[in-house]
Chain A
Amino acid sequence: RKEVEQDPGPFNVPEGATVAFNCTYSNSASQSFFWYRQDCRKEPKLLMSVYSSGNEDGRFTAQLNRASQYISLLIRDSKLSDSATYLCVVNANDYKLSFGAGTTVTVRA
């Protein structure tokens, strides 16, 4: 079983729509959770950390469900500029992060 699994998508949504997707992780001892964003042929960049109580950053909301070992990302009022691949990232042990293969979101006009 992969350490971090994501639905690859693509999720094709119109501007203004809400899109949400999850990722699951295998290590129940994981303590750090993040969403990174990667644009085509670019480097990953941190979108947001995910906290136990859930957190919001503008149009982006992240949730953590430890019991079911998944985290989610919800994007409200989608913009064309939100088109990217979203990487779910979880710490595999004390020293390294595990990256999911990403969920591709395409926002159309």
Chain B
Amino acid sequence: DTAVSQTPKYLVTQMGNDKSIKCEQNLGHDTMYWYKQDSKKFLKIMFSYNNKELIINETVPNRFSPKSPDKAHLNLHINSLELGDSAVYFCASSQDSSLAYEQYFGPGTRLTVT
């Protein structure tokens, strides 16, 4: 019974390609997030959606476009991939947008751009 799932787990692709990562949560949570963890291990928030509405949009290149078809899903599409996009991307969810609540993370998608 996976709470937050992501696909694919690994993604190896060439510069310039377009790719998508999918995320689903079965916890009934209202809020979902995308984080990027780079080689220095910092987890940085990219986007957050609350009930399908965008509430956080950090300084992320517009090559990155999130999409939330419903509150259980938050997908991430990346256009024109660059070497610097190589990282682990984590999806997470929480009960709602209150920061007092625990965030549950998916297993991560390890993206390698060659």
Say which one of B62-70, B74-82, B98-106 lies at the interface with A: B98-106
Number of A-B contacts (CB under 8 A): 44
Is the CB of A99 closer than 8 A to any CB of chain B? yes
Query: Is B56 touching A46 in the complex (CB atoms < 8 A)?
Result: no
- Most chain B beta-carbon neighbours within 10 Å: one of A46, A49, A85, A96: A96
CB-contacts of A18-34 with B (<8 A): 31-32, 34
Partner of B48, one of A43, A45, A46, A96: A96
Interface size, B (range): 20 to 34
Query: Is A32 touching B99 in the complex (CB atoms < 8 A)?
Result: yes
- Most chain B beta-carbon neighbours within 10 Å: one of A32, A49, A95: A95
A–B complex contacts, Cβ < 8 Å, 24 sampled: A32-B100, A34-B102, A42-B107, A42-B108, A43-B90, A43-B105, A43-B108, A44-B43, A44-B105, A45-B105, A49-B102, A85-B41, A87-B43, A91-B99, A94-B99, A95-B48, A95-B56, A96-B45, A96-B58, A96-B99, A97-B99, A99-B42, A101-B42, A102-B41
